[in-house]
Structure 1
Amino acid sequence: MADERRRVAGPVHVEGEVVATKRVGGYRHLTLTAPGLPERFRAGTFVAVSVAGHIARRPLWIHRVRASSAFGPTLDVVVQVRGSGTAWLAAQPVGTRVAVTGPLGRPFALPKDPVACLLVGEGYAAAPLFPLAERLRERGCGVSLVVSAPDEAGLLSALEARRSVRSVTVLTADGSVGQRGRVPDVVDDLVARSDADIVYAAGPTAVLASVAAAAERAGSWSQVAVEVPTPCGTGLCHGCALPVVGEDGVDRVVRGCTEGPVVRGDRVRWDALGAGS
């Protein structure tokens, strides 16, 4: 694997601006200016955005970066309303100034040679897989993408995906769009059909655990973008505990926002993260 985790420079803390906002399905897509941040972006990294009236910042996956626009370099993030903080973010109009820190965390590692890759994402957390697919395609990799959600409103950019990958499988638990089913129920078949050398995944813990296990059964390498609470986003507060197994086979806890969010799927202690559901 190439060392894609090396960055041009560290993260920046800047005042950004909301320059576009739109509702897509069950999510709010925000386009932000954040001087110096888009140039440092790697697929799988995230930003932490300050929220009015809240101490803890909100981590957001970066869905897309544009090197140039009428506003200069911009980045797109996806907001799923889960509480008062994300509700505030989703309600902000164009022109709102927001404090943004990023890019944070460890990104996906890219293969040195063209190989078959399977990308599996569920809900809004599938966001980092879209820029990842573009990078893999630039390297000549064959990319298959699985986009899943409980229902149609939860799907993220399924139509957009068809323009950038070799094949797209759409799964909804209620069967409203695409194939009826859940990732854990069909992941072995998905891995087998893609003949993937590397499997990447982003989504809820149960989805990541099932993908990592299927990849291991198939003899494939897996990388997963794990979501854990990230109160500060910089690793200083140690509030984003991620249980893993080290190279030496010893259980330990690392910081999800610095040693993660992207980690090897076979290194995560999924039982400790409650992946049984």
Structure 2
Amino acid sequence: MSDSPVQTSATVLTVRGVQDYHAMTLVAPAVAERFRPGQFVALAVGGDHSSRLIRRCFGVYEVKPDYGGTVEVVFADSEPGTAWLAGRRSRDKLDVLGPLGRPFRLPRDPVTCLLVGGGPGGAALFALADTLRRRGCKVHFVLGGATGRHVFGSRMAQRIGDSATVTTEDGSTGERGTVREILPRVVAETGADVVYACGPTPLLRAVTRVAAEFGLPSQVSVQEFLGRTGACGIGACMTCVLPVQGEDGVTRMVRACADGPVLRGDRVRWGDLGTIPFDALGAPRAAALPDGGAR
């Protein structure tokens, strides 16, 4: 069985509402059998007669290779493309490309893992949790959001995790506060050896900072860079680039889809997102003027 992605016609099994999000289950056995936690799928949107050329990319919540080969994704209805997906019904067909991207690196030995998520992006943690538990790892969750409706998977986390801490900014579910505020306490209480994170960029930045304070490795999924309104998913459109420092100390502009979405948190230059740092490999240089100035 090849690890290369496939393009296939998938059948919609169900589309259901989960709090403020939609969960879509697709029958796509060729994708399910190749999937590894952290990878994503790219769905074509708009049908055969649409001007929406760019796919929508989503992390995978759950895969069941033994039950017809299903793949489940979670997304917010936030723009016309995702609204179209939310309107699909059972037995509709979707063009699916996947699994794509680099997966999470898994520990060789059983260790204590802390999984941190926010919003629909946090759904990708649950396939990871299943794999970690089968390897004998302890799995602890921290899930956060602005309100309880923005926290995905809290009940599932409580059911499968060794512990699950939920925090909301308005205090409507779990503890009042932000993930950044409670994370140091949870790291200390759980004795975590490694931290994994999926969710909005501010959350990933905070997780990386806290992990570094405790001397822990962190792996973050930068799915948000795949675009709320679409991306190609294969590294061609160059809309998902971000600066990452390599093992050699050189900063390169990498593609979240092809070089990620899973990256080492301490390698991402969080303060330079949205820019091309002057010291990045291949960065534009100011042209010198004849009088010694620059333009």
TM-score (norm 2): 0.87
Matching residue within 217, 226, 229 for 1:229: 226
Question: In the alignment, what sits opposite 2:63?
Answer: 65
What is the one-letter code of the residue matched to 2:93? R
Structure 2: runs of 5+ lacking an equivalent: 275-295
Mapping 1:1-277, distance limit 5 Å: 8-52=2-46, 53=50, 54-69=52-67, 72-226=68-222, 227-229=224-226, 231-273=231-273
**Take 1:144 and 1:161, find their aligned partners in 2: how far apart are those partners?**
8
Deviation readout 1:8-44 (Å, 9 max, x if unpaired): 4200000111111111100111100123000011111
Q: CA deviation at 1:68?
A: 2.9
What is the one-letter code of the residue matched to 2:30? G
Q: CA deviation at 1:184?
A: 1.7
What is the one-letter code of the residue matched to 2:239? G
TM-score (norm 1): 0.93
**Take 2:253 and 2:187, find their aligned partners in 1: how far apart are those partners?**
29
Q: CA deviation at 1:153?
A: 1.1
What is the one-letter code of the residue matched to 1:240? C
Q: Among all aligned residue pairs of Structure 1 and Structure 2, give the percentage whose two residues are the same amino acid.
A: 46
Secondary structure, counterpart of 1:248 in structure 2: coil
Structure 1: runs of 5+ lacking an equivalent: 1-6
**Take 1:95 and 1:222, find their aligned partners in 2: how far apart are those partners?**
40
Q: CA deviation at 1:238?
A: 2.1
The higher radius of gyration belongs to 2
What is the one-letter code of the residue matched to 2:17? R
Contact 1:48-1:102 at 8 Å conserved across structures? yes
Secondary structure, counterpart of 1:40 in structure 2: coil
Contact 2:29-2:65 at 8 Å conserved across structures? no
Secondary structure, counterpart of 1:160 in structure 2: helix
Contact 2:36-2:103 at 8 Å conserved across structures? yes
Deviation readout 1:157-200 (Å, 9 max, x if unpaired): 21111221100001111110111111122222222222111000
**Take 1:136 and 1:240, find their aligned partners in 2: how far apart are those partners?**
28
**Take 1:164 and 1:42, find their aligned partners in 2: how far apart are those partners?**
19
What is the one-letter code of the residue matched to 1:56? I
Deviation readout 1:123-144 (Å, 9 max, x if unpaired): 1010111011111111111111
Contact 1:79-1:89 at 8 Å conserved across structures? no
**Take 2:259 and 2:226, find their aligned partners in 1: how far apart are those partners?**
14
Q: CA deviation at 1:50?
A: 0.2
Contact 1:14-1:35 at 8 Å conserved across structures? no
Q: CA deviation at 1:273?
A: 2.2
Q: CA deviation at 1:246?
A: 1.1
Contact 1:184-1:206 at 8 Å conserved across structures? no
Deviation readout 1:39-75 (Å, 9 max, x if unpaired): 0111110000000121110001110011233xx1101
